[in-house]
Structure 1
Amino acid sequence: MSREQPWEWSSLHRAVWILAWMYTGAAGAVTPTGVTKVSRVTGATPAGEFLPNPNQTHANHEVYGTDLGIVWDKGGGEVFVLFGDTFGAGWCGNGGCGTGWRSNVLARSSDTNLADGLTFSSMVQDYARHAKEVLPSKKVNNDEITVIPTAGVTVGSRHFIHYMSIHHWGEAGRWYTNYSGLAYSDDNGQTWVKHANARWWNNASWTNNFQMAALVKNGGFVYLYGTPNGRYGNVHLARVPEGALLDINAYRYWDGNGWAVSQAASQPVAIGIAGELSVSYNAALGRFLMTYLNEHRQAAVMRDAGTPVGPWSGEKILALGSQFPGLYNAFIHPWGSTATSLYFVMSQWTPYNTFLMRATLVADADGDNLLSEPGFESQSATPVTAPWYPVGNAGVDRNVGQARTGQDNGFVRYDSGWNALKQSVVVQPHTDYTLRGWVRTSANNTTGYFGARGPGNGPILGERAFASLPAYTEQVVTFNSGPNAIVEVYGGLWATEDTWLQLDDVSLKRGTNLVAHAGFEQQASASATSPWYADGNAGIDRGAGFARTGANNAWARGTQGWHAIKQEAAVTPHTRYTLKGWVRTSGAHNDGYFGARLPRGGPILSEVHYTQPLSGYTQLSVSFDSGANHSVELFAGLWASGTDTYIQVDDVTLTRD
């Protein structure tokens, strides 16, 4: 593809955390540390390099220079390893250029011992000792200069590649695509068909959110995490039933609270700057891991989450460009994920080849913090503040003895105007959050503020004012995200003379209720809309005077059959939850149910059966274990048998026990 230190727990703390995870089955957040090169994957060994090089691809497959190294389990005891633009004996030796050009090549591997490197069992070839271009491209600039793979997945015996058709290259880190699409193979990867309709077409402004992808199978779905072309976009999400991967109309897009038919409704699940995305489920941890290049931080970073939709943790440094110059991806090996280890394939622009890497995973006690770089500890240089961004005059105090904890802290200082540090973060709309941070200021400060607002300096959602703080003092702000899927958190001050503040140990955490639109107040029509859905005849009473609290409530009503209001909620596997809601019924009611089940009509996890009329709102409660599942369906409904019968529902909560 042509483009140009976290803290660590003591051994005792780590052992205690791992034991706690083993006995509770809870999914524990982790952070990577100690990344090392294990082996060279492609290319010839240059003078002075002493890494294992088991594949010798220059001699065995005419692969002298290549990149990416996307890995997925293909079944049959093998993985596929998929590479991008590839050059042969005429490779220029510096980046992606030269002769023997193929837009992509594909290897197979059955190697389960990654500690000594990643060995291929074969490569797809078009003739002896020559790796084949598996997805052809026109190779015409400003038309289709190349076709680059971005992800792969196998469903049954059919293999799929997600790829992008590149119209032209831009400046470093930027390129522009015609579309992204899916290709499939039914012969073990030897030949591939680009499906004519399974495509996400780019728009005139080159901003479609699904031009690059990561693919993950989970719970009968394939989850497609998408970014725009280039390396500077947010991460969006779609999903599709496993058997409908090539049906573009079967995809549903995460809208911040639920799954929408329209791609235009999609909202991000993680803030970029995201390039060369990889997502994998770590079964040993019970958590999803996401890696990508953040150009602004010149680092490969990792996020983790207990469910496919998140909430995703803040970014954690995986590998720094200062350690590995020119790095630009980290594709997770699905067989290399344990509770303590992460193996991934990384590219470096010079020498334009790929390497197997290993990182150690350690417990992250603050894993539910949604902010990246909360303590400013991995800032590579004082002028560099990403993922925090300055307004006015702001930056990082590096190891100058001013931090509350660790060695670094943020600062704001100037003699006029508004000056602040801010960070954007994905949130769930209409959800409660708590923002915390520690602040101290100069004695002359009179107008400091710590809070959250809508994106792009939008409306203030919640903030705390402070004057002089001679010692670090915790500031706490609670707010509701309102209609926003992204918010900005900030700490700053208004100055009229030389005034400063210092900021450290900032956190943003979601409230405990996992139900979206819990009181139905954000439902905009009489028909149930995402994240609520109707089974049979159900909808929303808007301002009709039937609500328990607020203006709105849900209802289900009929004379025959099953009628219900339902919502899919993301949960952590093997975890206890309590579901509560307030219900009242018509006098004719005699067969109602309130509970949780697996999605798409799956088995009931727990429910309460109410057979008597409830003339006033009555709170119902059920507890259940999520089992091996990452999502459950919450429902309140009734069976009607010949008589007009209804229920009304309000103020639903789902909390982790």
Structure 2
Amino acid sequence: MSRVKTWERALLLQAVLLCASAGAVTPTGVTKVSRITGATPSGESLPNPNQTHTNYEVYGTDLGIVWDKGGGEVFLLFGDTFGVGWCGNGGCGGGWRSNVLARSSDTALADGLTFSTMIQDSTRHAKEILPSKKVNNDEMTVIPTAGVTVGSRHYIHYMSVNHWGDAGRWYTNYAGIAYSDDNGQNWVKHPTARWQNNASWTNNFQMGAFVKNGGFVYLYATPNGRFGNVYLARVPEGSLLDINAYRYWDGNGWSASQAAARPVVIGIAGELSVVYNAALGRFLMTYLNEHRQAVVLRDAGTPTGPWSGEKVLASGSAFPGLYNAFIHPWGNTGTTLYFVTSQWTPYNTFLMRATLVGDSEGSNLLSEPGFETQAATTVMAPWWLEGSGGVDRAVGQARTGQDNGFVRASSGWNALKQSVVVQPYTDYTLRGWVRTSANNSAGFFGVRGPGNGPILGERSFGSLPGYTEQVVSFNSGANSVVEVYGGLWADGDTWLQLDDVSLTRGANLVSQAGFEQQLSTAATSPWYAEGNAGIDRGLGFARTGANNAWARNTDGWNALKQEVGVTPNTSYTLTGWVKTAGTHSDGYFGARVLGGGPILNEVHFTQPLGSYTQLSVTFNSGANHSVELFAGMWGHGTDTWIQVDDLSLTRN
């Protein structure tokens, strides 16, 4: 029998549990593995397998967007690049190319990342693959932001930069897609696959990250610069160059209108990277949060979320000047994460590695719930302060860990608050632990609309001498973003301490399950009609509330349907209440793969249901991250109808 050291056994057990649970993770132990680009400076001991300064005249560059290109290789795509005459500090100097591209077949990342080659325009000179005018206030440069391969065609999402602004701010003319059919040697900027910016530089689809999933390419996007929220669109894999084929996440479903897009994540977000981690069954998202001076990670079970709160992946205090983390698709396991990062002062790229550990707070949508990584920041992001307060850092005041938030003042409203994305008309529960000074008489913990909007739910409290849990259940209403807060009205020297805050979604995954928020007789997002179907509004036909859905016809398939995000290979139960005409003979209630795909399970109801009757279906999601729920009927030459109300989908 072999002997295993205790710490080795613990790591092995952790790896097994991570893979078995396919749950949320937290990154720890981030380290630099190797230099990817540039020359090795004096005193640096990192491996430098590519020697790009001599092999490709790449002395300084950034980004390093990496994706699987097929054929046993990945592409690595870099931004503004400098050669002979590079200034040696940041992006400046001679030999300027707006972007360059490398290929790699290296699968052994533990000792570094080695190129197969770089795309070249002459011997030992990396080629600029997407040209730019290089004229300030016109087109200063063209910077890639994402890449994806579908079949044998490769695609790059890029931004045309009009001019650079203050640190972390730049302004784009448009974002576009280029493609290559010759293994990356030559690229074509498609003339109409573009998202034009507006006069106020606020279009939300200027920088991106691509993910392939379920026959779609998902495009996560932000405005230009590093201070926007994250939005989402998707397009069938074969239609990437058709700008009219994109559909935008509107908080409930998919809209053809870009203006309908709502955030999936609250920024401050720059240089996105999003991948699917098959070992975890989770989507991982990284970006730079300038306000936190850190690259952060979020995870989610479905492309639309809900996304977890931010978790610090790599801090600027440990790695000065870092500003991205592009995840390597081949270093993407249940316990290890490899990614490419840039640092400004050396203006070059590095391979880094983090260890992933299980996260019991994976369902928590709030970032920094225990205030534990505040010590290195100059502001309180992602928490914000109204009035007077801050963070107690390792002073023995926390409920758990070593830090907690506080407010303290002699007068006025003083609160800690955080904005978070929610799905409209969905139930949530907010929890947090609070204690106060003895003279507190007007403390409040709750949720409201953004920008100090209407209160959705709150608890009031007086003096709390010890940490006491506050629980608030609420419905998000029409909001896609809400504001969580804990605070007090001070009267004399008054204080409040806050710790261990969580926001979790309710169990029912069906949006607008009772149709009460449908504002038209025609079904609107997230509900969609097939054949002749719609909404009864205030007609007295509902099981509960005022509204219900219906389908009615003499022939053909007629149904209401909704796409819902699910975790792959997981059991779910779908329930709903159905009533039919006396002529009814052929109805179905169930779940299927998107786009009219295979049925996952369904109930076939052939007898008339003279009053609302509950139907129930249990199914396994299989490999899918989204499924289509449906309730409908076939007409067979006679006028017939069904009515549907009060649906529920819960994970078993």
Report if TM-score (shorter chain) is over 0.5. yes
* Aligned equivalent of 1:137: 132
TM-aligned CA deviation for residue 89 of structure 1: 1.1
For the residues of structure 2 that align with 1:60 and 1:635, how far apart are their CA atoms? 58
* 1:193-232 to 2 correspondences below 5 Å: 193-232=188-227
Pairing 1:170-185 to 2, within 5 Å after superposition: 170-185=165-180
User: What residue is the counterpart of 1:330 in the other structure?
Assistant: 325
Q: Residue 266 of structure 1: CA displacement?
A: 0.5
Question: What pairs with 1:370-381 in structure 2 (closer than 5 Å)?
Answer: 370-381=365-376
Aligned to 2:631: 636
- Change in Cα spacing, 1:381 to 1:550, as seen in structure 2 (3 Å) is same
Is the CA contact (8 Å cut-off) linking 1:158 and 1:184 kept in structure 2?
yes
Give the alignment partner of residue 121 of structure 2, picking from 117, 126, 151: 126
Letter in 1 for 2:529: A
Of 11-20 and 626-635, the range deviating more from structure 2: 11-20
**Superposition CA RMSD, Å:** 1.1
Counterparts of 1:525-564 in structure 2, within 5 Å, are 525-564=520-559
Determine the C-alpha separation between the residues in 1 that align with 2:596 and 2:439: 63
- Matches for 1:502-517 after TM superposition, within 5 Å: 502-517=497-512
Question: Shift of residue 19 of structure 1?
Answer: 3.7
Tell me the SS of whatever aligns to 1:416: strand
Q: 1:382·1:395 contact (CA, 8 Å) conserved in 2?
A: no
Flag the 1:280–1:560 CA change in 2: closer, same or farther, 3 A: same
Structure 1: stretches of 5+ with no match in the other structure: 1-9
Match of 1:470 in 2: 465
1:362 to 344, 357, 378: 357
Give the counterpart of 2:345 among 346, 350, 356: 350
Aligned to 1:97: 92
In structure 2, runs of 5+ residues without a counterpart are 1-6
Residue of 252, 256, 265 corresponding to 2:251: 256
1:384–1:395 CA contact under 8 A, matched in 2: no
Secondary structure of the residue aligned to 1:58 is helix
The aligned runs of 1:49-448 (5 Å cut-off) are 49-381=44-376, 384-448=379-443
Q: What do the CA deviations read for 1:238-297 (whole angstroms, capped 9, x no partner)?
A: 000000000000000000110011000010000000000000001111100000000000
The aligned amino acid for 1:584 is K
The aligned residue for residue 7 of structure 1 is none
Residue 31 (structure 2) pairs with residue 36 (structure 1): yes
Q: 1:315-373: per-residue Cα shift (whole Å, max 9, x none)?
A: 00000000000000000000000000000000000100000000000000110000000
| Superposed counterparts of 1:586-625, under 5 Å | 586-625=581-620
- Cα distance in 1 for partners of 2:631, 2:406 equals 50
Q: 1:376, 1:148 → 2: CA distance?
A: 35
Alignment match, 2:451:
456
Q: Can you list the C-alpha shifts for 1:176-228, whole angstroms capped at 9, x where unaligned? A: 00000000000000000000000000011111110000000000000000000
Deviations 1:95-127 (A, max 9, x none): 000010000000000000000001000100000
What is the TM-score with the length of structure 2 in the denominator?
0.98
- Detail structure 1 runs of 4+ shifted over 2 Å in the superposition: 10-23, 380-384
SS at match of 2:238: helix
State whether residues 105 and 134 of structure 1, in contact with CA within 8 Å, keep that contact through their aligned partners in structure 2: yes
* In 2: Cα distance, 1:498 partner to 1:381 partner: 28
- Pick one of 643, 647, 651 that aligns with 1:648: 643
Distance 1:343 1:407 in 2: 29
- Cα contact 1:422–1:491 (8 A) shared by 2: yes
User: 8 Å contact 2:375–2:393 — kept in the other structure?
Assistant: no
For residue 535 of structure 2, give the secondary structure of its aligned residue in structure 1.
strand
Amino acid of the structure 2 residue aligned with 1:606 = N
Maintained 8 Å contact 1:71/1:333? yes
Partner secondary structure for residue 452 of structure 2: coil
Kindly tell me: are residues 224 and 609 of structure 1, through their superposed partners in 2, closer, same or farther at Cα, counting changes over 3 Å? Answer: same
Post-superposition offset of 1:20: 4.5
Give the 3-state SS of the residue equivalent to 1:497 in structure 2.
Answer: strand
Find the aligned partners of 2:24 and 2:11 in 1 and give their Cα distance.
12
SS of the equivalent of 2:314 reads: strand
Which whole-Å CA distance do the structure 1 matches of 2:572 and 2:437 have between them? 46
- Maintained 8 Å contact 1:412/1:419: yes
- TM-score, scaled relative to structure 1: 0.97
2:495 is matched with which residue: 473, 487, 500? 500
**2:372, 2:403 within 8 Å by CA — same for their partners in 1?**
yes
Q: How far 1:646 sits from its partner (Å)?
A: 0.3
State the AA in 1 paired with 2:235: V
**Separation of aligned partners in 2, 1:382 and 1:47:** 30
Greater shift after overlay, 488-497 or 381-390? 381-390
The match for 1:45 is: 40
Amino acid at match of 1:257: N
Once residues 191 and 364 of structure 1 are traced to their aligned partners in structure 2, the CA distance between those partners, rounded to angstroms, is: 44
Aligned 8 A contact 1:135 1:192 in 2: yes
Aligned partners of 2:19 and 2:280 also within 8 Å: no
- The structural deviation recorded for 1:489 is 0.2
Residues matched between the structures, number: 646
State the distance in 2 between where 1:45 and 1:572 align: 44
Q: 1:424 to 1:536 in 2, by over 3 A?
A: same
For 1:386 and 1:139, locate their aligned partners in 2 and report how far apart those are by CA, in whole Å. Answer: 36
2: CA distance, partners of 1:12 / 1:380: 33
Deviations 1:579-619 (A, max 9, x none): 00000000000000000000101000000000000000000
Task: State whether residues 19 and 279 of structure 2, in contact with CA within 8 Å, keep that contact through their aligned partners in structure 1.
Answer: no
What's the secondary structure of 1:335's corresponding residue? strand
Cα distance in 2 for residues equivalent to 1:313 and 1:430 = 19
**How big is the shift at 1:496?**
1.9
In 1, are the aligned partners of 2:18 and 2:335 still within 8 Å (CA)? no
Report the alpha carbon displacement of residue 487 of structure 1 after superposing the two structures with TM.
0.3
Q: CA offsets, 1:550-604, max 9 Å, x none?
A: 1110000110111000000000001100000000000000000000000101000
- The alignment-based identity, stated in percent, is 80
CA deviation profile, 1:10-61 (whole Å, cap 9, x unmatched) = 98887656544545xx531000000000000000000000000000000000
**Is the CA contact 1:27–1:306 (under 8 Å) kept in the aligned structure 2?**
no
Question: Hey, what's the Cα distance between the residues in 2 that align with 1:545 and 1:596?
Answer: 28
The 2-side partners of 1:187 and 1:22 are apart by 38
Cα separation, 2, equivalents of 1:646 and 1:97: 69
